[in-house]
Structure 1
Amino acid sequence: MTTTFPASTPSALGIDARGVTALLDALESTPDVEPHSIVLLRHGQVAAEGWWQPYTAERVHLLYSLSKSFTAAGVGIAVRAGLIDLDATVLSYFPELDADVTDERSRRISVRHLLAMASGHREETLDRAEALDPTDTVRGFLLLPPDEEPGTVFAYNQPCTYTLAAIVRRVTGGSLVDWLRPHLLDPLGIDDLAWRLDDTGAELGFSGCYAPTSAVAKLGQLYLQGGVWDGERILDEDWVAQATSTQVANPDEGNPDWSQGYGFQFWMARHGYRGDGAYGQFCVVLPEQDVVLALTGQSLDMQAVLDAVWQHLLPAVDGSSDAAADRALEARLASLGLPALVGGSLRGTADVGPLARDGDAWRLTVDVDGGTLSVPVGQGEWTVEGPLAASGAADQDGTLRVDVRFVETPHLLHVRVDPATGAVTTAWQTQPLHDGPLTLRRPAD
């Protein structure tokens, strides 16, 4: 089943299209910000949407920590079904660990504490948990005594969410995605969602979810509607209220939109609340304005993205507009694209190292991670093949440059080839957090 939002115009939804255009300008011009997609909803209708080529509407995008909000929805659905008790201890779901976990604070960590990133640890525990037990992250986490009483301090802590996913698997008898599919994905018409698994075959929970931008918008709209979709209650109203309000204070976080409090795998913000993930994956919900904004990208400065939203989009809501501004925005959205490499033509260049002629075109073939990465290279454009897009050019000194985009993720790889020796150097624009070049793509079902 496919559920799509009705398409409208900014003016019809009470949004000044010039503010949306100004937001696009800011996203494209701000240092350390690179947009890949935008979906803007108001009153449950599409006010604006667009994808910067070579990213496209139908493709999934790695959401990194925005995955946490999908995991939390799975927990909320299980709470509604009576399978999970928010105030039950984590240990009660893993009785086989009872004898191992002796610290009293660890034994008092509840599901509620996990949801609020309030396990009592003062800092991230993932590396330490995995070092304590390389095969059972939940056990390693519970063997780390909290620094404070659970529920009293905030620390962004991946094993909290990993353990939530493990609890869902434990109480439902299947995978997290198996649980989400009939209870969340199918009702919302989310046709494509996949999750990176760890070495034990379990979803990471805290990261690794691949979904299209429309799925992000739908999750935000579900919460904006109080957990109801097409007349069907999916999440309890009380769950939504708790998830989207401060459950633990976090005033020590550095950026203003990260220090407004934390709910259930949602950040409170200066305006509304949001789920977010590394390098600029956002699900922003503005209840007062009845707005949902979904964004993907490759942005190192995530605060700058939100600053642009508050500066340009927020004042445009309930602002004046006109049909000409709507049409100008529509044309702009239809022509979005990330610039291809600029430089000398590859034509006339002999095969060199990993870069070889492929008919009238070129192909880059690089051995990485014990496998082979191969992609056609466009000149002055992005050539797309599968989950890869590439663009190439020659420098004045003859150095051959190829940029490879992994278009189901935020990531871009810069490849440089010495024309004399064929030697290759590579550098990431943004460092992948849990994958290499051969696995930066939608996981197989």
Structure 2
Amino acid sequence: METTSSLQLSRSLPEEQGISSAAISSFIDAVEAQSLGLHSFMLLRHGYVISEGWWSPYKPDLPHMLFSLSKSFTSTAIGFAVTEKLITLDDSVISFFPEDSPEEITSNLSKMSIKHLLIMGTGQVVDTMDPLKQSADGNWVKAFFTVPVEKEPGTHFLYNTGATYMLSAIIQKVTGQTLLEYLEPRLFTPLGIRSATWESCPRGINTGGYGLNITTEDIAKFGQLFLQKGIWNNQRLLPEEWIDEATSKHISNGEGDHDWAHGYGFQFWRCQHGAYRADGAFGQLCIVLPGQDAVIAITSASPSTEGILNAVWEHLLPNMKDAPLPEDQSSSAALVDQLKNLSINPPQLQQSSILEDQINDMTYTLENNQFSLATFSISFNNEDAEVTLISKLGESNVIRLGRGQWLESFALILEPSMNRIMSSFTWLAEDQLQLSLLFVEMPFYITLEIKILENMLLLKSKINVNMGPLEFDDMIGRI
């Protein structure tokens, strides 16, 4: 196995590393045919990137929201802290936070250790994130301890994002640094991961269980470090024993032969075929296949992570051969062409409408709505349009939209920070306008359909993937 150098991963041809270009093409065809919503894909074999693609306007240099894939990075910080003898896995969780512990400490709470946080075996029977986010004083640590520990820690698996937050809080408590600051010299700098960002709680502790934003290649490097058992650029970053322990099964997490029932490690999921993965909502994936000496990094807005994994097992896994394959120029050229032409295209229906002049530069006052928007206005030019949204607090966001093509804007539409948005518009009918907003550092794609009536608008909005509803209440705007 080639050990990879620090700043950029080396590139090679698929056949040179024992997998056919045709097999990779069939994987791409499968995820496209099933509308699995991929934004990027990177396949590594023997330490080389042998195939990579981005569905335009997603791009290699843009970070992507990772959701729970962040958890595996948090667990890795714990690995560094254990190696540096700052903590042990048996340390009790409450021992770090005497000032935030409840007055009455139950027997089960006193037994809860760092290891129990890592394996999602805290003994709590509900995910603690809601109480954390709802805490009036923003003290998420204190809120975590208010959730009863109903079962003995270590005996019951429950996916619990608040448990990962507590790992982040412990890192900050023992090092005086945020999780991100702590990982910077130990993990990010050696791997050449630049400009990572991580969301924080109201008290400045990184969220841990979600909130990390990095690029697809950064995800692949992380997987490659684990595949190489903690060695990077001929230097040991983490002990091999930690890598093995973190990615082994420590607790049962269901029954059946699917990828959510093969056991859970230290914030890593075990998979079929002896593989393991870091996994975030809507198909953010870092899949490590030790038996095949391979890593797969994927970002997406997928309705089915299981669909993506099954496509990997069906099209890629069986075609990873031990020896290099003969050159296949036609399949290689076809794959290169296929990867180059991946895209998410803006809708292009009716180019224009006679009503453009009627609503041009008109300001519509919006009735009460869940987005706290006060007014909506749109102005049209030859090839683009500009939407201005003003909130009830008076904050203004301007979004530029291409006529049937993507145009880039920066606006704060979705929390927590300024969004990079590719937007377009088209007409569905003479009196019906459609706006498309693609958030290219997130999985989200918002569609706004606007019905134009006399002196008023009816605005319908929907989103492609979401933790909550996919369609929102209609908004009414009046001149």
TM-score after normalising by structure 1: 0.92
Do residues 55 (structure 1) and 58 (structure 2) align? yes
Report what 2:464 is aligned to. Answer: 429
Report what 2:278 is aligned to. Answer: 275
Do residues 383 (structure 1) and 413 (structure 2) align? no
- Displacement of 1:131 in angstroms is 5.1
Mark the CA change 1:369 to 1:6 in structure 2 (over 3 Å): closer, same or farther. Answer: farther
C-alpha separation between the residues in 1 aligned to 2:137 and 2:329? 59
Do residues 8 (structure 1) and 12 (structure 2) align? yes
Report what 1:93 is aligned to. Answer: 96
Do residues 328 (structure 1) and 325 (structure 2) align? no
- Displacement of 1:427 in angstroms is 1.7
Do residues 418 (structure 1) and 418 (structure 2) align? no
Q: Equivalent residues in 2 for 1:353-432 (5 A)?
A: 354-358=377-381, 360-367=383-390, 370=393, 371-386=395-410, 387-420=420-453, 421-431=456-466
Unaligned runs of 5+ in 1: 434-445
Kindly indicate whether structure 1 or structure 2 has the higher relative contact order, using CA contacts under 8 Å at least 6 residues apart.
Answer: 1
* Structure 1 range deviating more: 127-136 or 95-104: 127-136
Figure out how many residues of one structure are paired with residues of the other and give that number.
431
C-alpha separation between the residues in 1 aligned to 2:457 and 2:433? 9
Mark the CA change 1:362 to 1:98 in structure 2 (over 3 Å): closer, same or farther. Answer: closer
Report what 1:294 is aligned to. Answer: 297
Q: Percent identity?
A: 35
RMSD: 2.1
Q: For each residue in 1:204-244, what CA deviation from the matched residue of structure 2 results, as whole angstroms up to 9, or x when unmatched?
A: 11111111111111111111111111122111211111111
C-alpha separation between the residues in 1 aligned to 2:84 and 2:313? 37
C-alpha separation between the residues in 2 aligned to 1:264 and 1:129? 22
Counterpart AA for 1:389 = M
- Displacement of 1:245 in angstroms is 0.8
- Contact map agreement 1:17 1:316 (CA 8 A) in 2: no
Do residues 114 (structure 1) and 114 (structure 2) align? no
Counterpart AA for 1:375 = I
C-alpha separation between the residues in 2 aligned to 1:129 and 1:39? 35
Mark the CA change 1:338 to 1:131 in structure 2 (over 3 Å): closer, same or farther. Answer: closer
Q: For each residue in 1:71-129, what CA deviation from the matched residue of structure 2 results, as whole angstroms up to 9, or x when unmatched?
A: 11111111111112111111122232456351111111110110111111233222245
C-alpha separation between the residues in 1 aligned to 2:32 and 2:404? 19
* Structure 1 range deviating more: 225-234 or 424-433: 424-433
Report what 2:366 is aligned to. Answer: none
- Displacement of 1:140 in angstroms is 2.0
- Contact map agreement 1:411 1:432 (CA 8 A) in 2: no
Secondary structure of the 1:144 match is coil
Do residues 72 (structure 1) and 71 (structure 2) align? no
* Structure 1 range deviating more: 292-301 or 361-370: 361-370
Unaligned runs of 5+ in 2: 363-376, 411-419, 469-479
- Displacement of 1:347 in angstroms is 6.7
C-alpha separation between the residues in 2 aligned to 1:113 and 1:192? 31
Report what 1:436 is aligned to. Answer: none
TM-score after normalising by structure 2: 0.85
- Displacement of 1:418 in angstroms is 2.1
Report what 1:438 is aligned to. Answer: none
Q: Which one has a bigger Cα radius of gyration?
A: 2
